[in-house]
Amino acid sequence: MKLAEASQQISKNIDIVKGYAQGSDLWRDEIQNIVERCDQDQEFQDAMDDLNRIQRIMSVFASETFDREDVFEAYLDQEQNFRLFSQLHDVPGFTSLQENLGHMLYDADPNQGNAIIFRLGDYSREVIGVAIKRAIKDGHNFDVAFDDYLFDVYLKSEITPAQAISYAKANVERHAFCNRIITSRPGSQEPHSYTVPNEVTEAYKDGGIALRQRVSEGLFYTLTAIPAERDAITDGYCYEEYLQLFFEMCDQPWVQIDKAHKALIERFNQANDVHITNSDGTDISMSVEGFTFVNSLTAKNIPGSEIFSAPVKQSLNGTIVAKGGFFSPSYPSNIIRDITLVFENGRIVDFDAVEGHKYLKKSIETDEGSQHIGELGIGTNPHLKRHVANGLLVEKIGGSFHVALGRSYKYTEYLGVPVIVDNDNHSDIHWDVTTMLFGKEGVIELDGTRIMEDGLFIGEEFDVLNRGWKAVPFNKRPEYWQKKYPGE
């Protein structure tokens, strides 16, 4: 593989770092060595390592720290602290299922856009590798944005707010060419010891607002979050068991679930008022009058599935008790456990957490919009029936609901279907907090009529949302499922 010929965008990035070499004695030799390798045939893994190095160099120059020898020395530490692509964690086993997931991510967009950014995080080498190789074969223009979490927080700990704005704007510009983002990241991020000043964090958010707006207004993305070993520990699973659960969640009877979703959406779209209770103390009411629900299967999140919309912003009243561990997007390596949120007229007026209270407080106090709700979602993946901390999986739990603290979606259509989901809540965050209903005497009422009892949907048309493949005739289930669950 020749990096210089992989895509137009990668070739452009190589030219950019070539220019850096002309004005920096500190970086010249390193850049020249990388550029020379980019014109040579390399193994895929070696090429990805060099692409990873190119991104780090672009980050250093964008953050205006290129003249600092300590930053250069940190960049050279590509083994212990700041691992390259080839040093990312492997997912043990599940080779064919990882390949299948890579193809699902690549195929999720029915329009097959040809300007793609692959966001690649830890545990994702095999999965995203499949998708990247397909993009090369198909001749798409693409770039690879490594989710270089530790190097990123290191840089942010070393820069000023003005430099943070420059750093963020460079990332926005890097995404300008794309019409699709494909992301595979870990379920949670590694803990770190770096301290990023609040003013730097805020400045970086301000500099990146244009990209967030593009995504919220419809820039197509497909996302998966592969469980990390720390996720399994957090949720009390052995790691292989957790991975098995994850990959089986990706392999559900999507045709039948799609049909059930449409029936469920019809019921929600006809309703004005939603009332949800459970035995943990949740008792929350809200209005969804004027909004419509989205049919979310696997086009944007893998695994799916859910239906979602937004409540009338000022309409929430009551209490949500969300048991289990959570990771706020503002503090992705700090656990928050057993959350209580109290609402009056749509605003959080009281809150608590058994663990991580200060991270909950900081998240809620991010801005005015983070004290209100931008989304109501109903989880429908029938293969997961217990709480987990993995942010992508938890919102999909069959027999659960979630509210998003912060930003509402701005979609006016979803996969070609007109939708109304924007309740005009603006925020720097969008954090899904999921509450279990299954096994918790959970009830959902629409205009006073029960549509769910004890976390199970009421009605034959929703049977697949309760039982998954068990609701499908045995001879129509995949061979894999027939062998693993022969008596069910």
Q: Which pLDDT belongs to residue 112?
A: 57
Q: Which pLDDT belongs to residue 168?
A: 96
HEC assignment per residue over 18-79: HHHHHCCHHHHHHHHHHHHHHCCCCCHHHHHHHHHHHHHHHHHHHCCCCCCHHHHHHHHCCC
| Average pLDDT, integer, range 33-46 | 95
Q: Which pLDDT belongs to residue 379?
A: 97
DSSP 242-256: HHHHHHHHTSS-HHH
Q: Count the neighbouring beta carbons within 10 Å of the beta carbon of residue 201.
A: 15
Q: Does 28 have pLDDT greater than 80?
A: yes
Q: pTM here?
A: 0.85
Give pLDDT tens digits for 444-477.
999 999 999 999 999 999 999 999 999 999 998 8
464, amino acid identity: V
Q: Which pLDDT belongs to residue 78?
A: 67
The rounded distance, in Å, linking the Cα atoms of 88 and 222 is 21
Q: Which pLDDT belongs to residue 21?
A: 92
The rounded distance, in Å, linking the Cα atoms of 143 and 13 is 9
Residue 145, SS3?
strand
Q: Which pLDDT belongs to residue 2?
A: 92
Q: Which pLDDT belongs to residue 226?
A: 92
Flag the least confident range among 160-169, 172-181, 189-198, 424-433: 189-198
Q: Does 3 have pLDDT greater than 70?
A: yes
Computed over every residue of the chain, the mean pLDDT equals 93
Q: Does 79 have pLDDT greater than 70?
A: no
Give pLDDT tens digits for 176-198.
999 999 999 998 888 888 999 99
Q: Does 218 have pLDDT greater than 80?
A: no
> In the structure encoding, which two tokens stand for residue 15, read together?
């030219």
Give all strands (DSSP E) within 129-177, no chain letters: 141-146
The rounded distance, in Å, linking the Cα atoms of 364 and 372 is 9
- Residue 301 is given by DSSP the state B
Q: Which pLDDT belongs to residue 220?
A: 86
| 352 φ, ψ (degrees, to nearest 5) | -160, 160
Q: Count the neighbouring beta carbons within 10 Å of the beta carbon of residue 270.
A: 9
Do residues 410 and 354 touch, judged by C-beta distance below 8 A? no
Q: Which pLDDT belongs to residue 23?
A: 86
Q: Pairing relation of β-strands 317-328 and 283-287? A: antiparallel
The rounded distance, in Å, linking the Cα atoms of 288 and 149 is 37
pLDDT > 70 fraction of the chain, expressed in percent and rounded: 98
How many residues make up the chain in this entry? 488
Give the pLDDT band (50/70/90) at residue 262. Answer: very high
The rounded distance, in Å, linking the Cα atoms of 182 and 15 is 24
Give the pLDDT band (50/70/90) at residue 478. Answer: confident
Q: Which pLDDT belongs to residue 269?
A: 98
- Residue linked to tokens 């009058």: 289
